[in-house]
Amino acid sequence: MAATVSLPFGGAASTFPSRKARKFTAKMAMERFSTQSLSSTEVGIVVNGVEKRVEGDGVVKGAVSGEERRRENLRALYEDGFGQASVKDYLEWARDIIKPDGGGPRWFCPLECGAPLEGSPLLLFLPGADGVGLGLILHHRSLGKVFEVRCLHLPVYDRTPYEGLLKFVEDTVRMEHASSPSRPIFIVGDSFGGCLALSVAARNLTIDLSLVLCNPATSFGRSQLQPVIPVLESIPNELHFAVPYLLSFIMGDPVKLAMANLPRGLSPSETVDQLSNSLVSMLPGLSDLSDILPKETLSWKLKLLQDGAAYTNSRLHAVRADVLLLCSGKDYMLPSAEEAARLRSSLKSCKVRYFKDNGHTLLLEDGINLLTIIKGTNMYRRSRKHDSVSDFLPPSMSEFKAAFDNEKWFNVATSPVFFSTLENGDIVRGISGVPDEGPVLLVGYHMLMGLELSPLYEEFLREKKVAVRGMAHPLLFSSKMESSLPEFSRNDLMKVFGALRVSPLSMYRLFSEKSFVLLYPGGAREALHRKGEEYKLFWPDQPEFVRMAARFGVTIVPFGVIGEDDVTELVIDYDDLQNIPIVKGWIEEVNDGGTRVRDDTDGELNQDLHFPGLLPKIPGRFYYLFGKPIKMAGKEAILKDRENAKKLYLQTKAEVENIIAYLKRKREEDPYRSILQRAFYQAANGPREIPTFEN
């Protein structure tokens, strides 16, 4: 079988011998890797995104079309390959690459990353104390779609001091910046690698860097391991085999490690059974950790951690790069939560995301999709600044499943029903009446707390394979909405699925790219309405969107949705909260200095963001109806005719009101409006689509 390697950039190609055929055919080629004879005469390499076949003497034999590998665009629900690897694969791969070769630090490109999107940024992965460089193994495929990925490998018996490693990484960063000065460079630093990443950023202020740090070892001086370090170093050689088992339980949650590639949607009994098998198959591989960290290497790595933490902490004040800090709540190796708070206050530009149930080896544990986190925190970019339109990456299939599997209970409770209107005026079940191609503007009513959003996004992704770009309140993108240790939240997930800050410029650019755009003219005033105001529209007088829609020939689709009064009762509204001094002060503090979406002199339409008091009800049902599409193509005259623009605007508003009235009337005819009737129906008929009223 031909060995398959990936050449990251100029340098001699070389490989290491394979123990056996892997389920991952991709092997790794390393810069300055020791020269060894190949086990075959043919090697597969990737150069500039084109796979080639090379004879043993280095002569190109032929080429596979790069167009099949290169993805100029990612479509919604693309297969990102996340979760196809596990900790077991990490241990298997590690056996091969830890073999002594006398070489020093080097980079490798996992071939399963494939060819990224054109113009993708570079991502350098700096490993933890293990030095293997496989800490991203669960994420290789997903990151490889949108980054050019390179991983640093530190051989087991390499003794390059901290400043030597720093210079090695720094030289690569400077070389890449010199060759592509407009391309940002992402550095993912895991534990010890976090020290290296911060040190590089502190010494290279003019290079465009973005750092993603996972439980950085800058807090090593306060590590829980400090009292036992002398014990670890003094353990006799014949007993050192036990140290890796001890460290494995300190560094990560074994259950979460074992769950990293379990199939989704298993029953509780199947989950327990497969988890047991995964744990049993993983534990024997832990013995390989004694080869990754033999006694003398462990002592050296502890010294590197001390040197790295001291060097980095003395230079934190110089870091100017954007930093995304991921910290674990169950890190038994480092005080990562405390360190996150310290770094957040010390660094100029730092976002934090807190994972309370995860251990030190965050990137190898179940439920952590690094690309999703980068997307949800608006860190992904291809140029100097993040652009919410050109840098948007549509949700992948794994993100879709992860997000909406968690929403299943909500769909069961509300059993949403979708209707749309064909061009001839007929109302049909489903959204076939909505155009398949953009630009499309969905304009409708915003239910209390935006309860309608999740089913709407899911329906368009599932049925039309399009990501609807929702116009969201600017304050949702503000750091004021975050706590000191914010978890990856629903706000982050909204950005993953297309939400962006509402503005005329955003709409202009989305329409120019033929996107599906979701706009609520009533905005926060509707979503945070007061008692007795359900289903009342709070649209401004100005035709905010009609003239822009005419400019781009957009198809406007008015829609209405009802059901909030069947699932919850508003008991404490904005007026009530204003009568509570402490709460009133908090609302003012959160909204102080925030961007006003509209110029409204009396303040009626500019609603402060707040959390109303709600009581749940025995759930009814959600009903959506998309009205007859209004085609703006050929209506460019509206651009200069304000009267006709206002007329069309009021017509759209009236259509939304008529749709709401229609749905309120028709739901009275639905025999399955109550969750109880729906439960009886499914008990008798199985998981079939539940009927509703006749159109």
Digit-coded pLDDT (tens) for 462-472 = 999 999 999 99
CB 427 within 8 A of CB 692: no
CB 520 within 8 A of CB 618: no
Read off the pLDDT band of 596 (50, 70, 90).
low
Cα angle value 165/167/172 (rounded, 5°): 100
Q: Which helix (H) or strand (E) holds 683?
A: helix 675-685
Which phi and psi angles does 201 have, rounded to 5°? Answer: -65, -35
CB 112 within 8 A of CB 140: yes
| Cα 169 to Cα 126: distance, rounded to the nearest angstrom | 9
Digit-coded pLDDT (tens) for 510-551 = 999 999 999 999 999 999 999 999 999 999 988 879 999 999
Q: List, in order of start, the domains of the chain with CATH numbers.
A: 73-376 (3.40.50.1820), 407-564+617-685 (3.40.1130)
Is 80 exceeded by the pLDDT of residue 6?
no
Question: Which range (16-30, 501-515, 657-671) has the least confidence?
Answer: 16-30
Read off the pLDDT band of 367 (50, 70, 90).
confident
> 46: helix, coil or strand?
strand
| Cα 341 to Cα 197: distance, rounded to the nearest angstrom | 18
Tokens 């949403």 belong to residue: 416
- Kindly list the strands in the beta sheet with 3-4, ordered across the sheet, starting from the edge strand earlier in the chain: 3-4, 42-47, 50-55, 60-63
Give the type of residue at 141: R
Q: Across-strand partners of 54? A: 43, 60
CB 183 within 8 A of CB 122: yes
Q: How far is CA 660 from the centre of its chain?
A: 35
State residue 96's pLDDT score. 81
Dihedral of alpha carbons 47, 51, 56, 59, sign: negative
> What is the average pLDDT value for the chain, to the nearest integer?
83
Q: Please, is 19 exposed, middle or buried when counting C-beta atoms within 10 Å of its C-beta (0-12, 13-18, 19+)?
A: exposed
Structure tokens at 376: 């949800």
Question: Which range (21-30, 292-301, 320-329, 654-663) has the least confidence?
Answer: 21-30
> 115: helix, coil or strand?
coil
pTM for this model (two decimals):
0.85
Digit-coded pLDDT (tens) for 432-474 = 999 999 999 999 999 999 999 999 999 999 999 999 999 998 8
- Compare 21 and 440 and report the one with higher pLDDT: 440
Structure tokens at 491: 């706000």
Q: Across-strand partners of 187? A: 124, 211
| Cα 25 to Cα 12: distance, rounded to the nearest angstrom | 21
| Cα 518 to Cα 471: distance, rounded to the nearest angstrom | 6
- Compare 158 and 30 and report the one with higher pLDDT: 158
Which has the closest alpha carbon to 26: 105, 100, 84? 84
Q: How many CA atoms lie within 13 A of 152 on its CB side?
A: 29
| Cα 150 to Cα 143: distance, rounded to the nearest angstrom | 11
CB 509 within 8 A of CB 392: no
Q: Across-strand partners of 47? A: 50
DSSP state of 114: -
Which has the closest alpha carbon to 29: 16, 41, 10, 42? 16
- The full 3-state SS of 296-313, as one line of letters, equals HHHHHHHHHHHHHHHHHH
Q: Across-strand partners of 30? A: 108
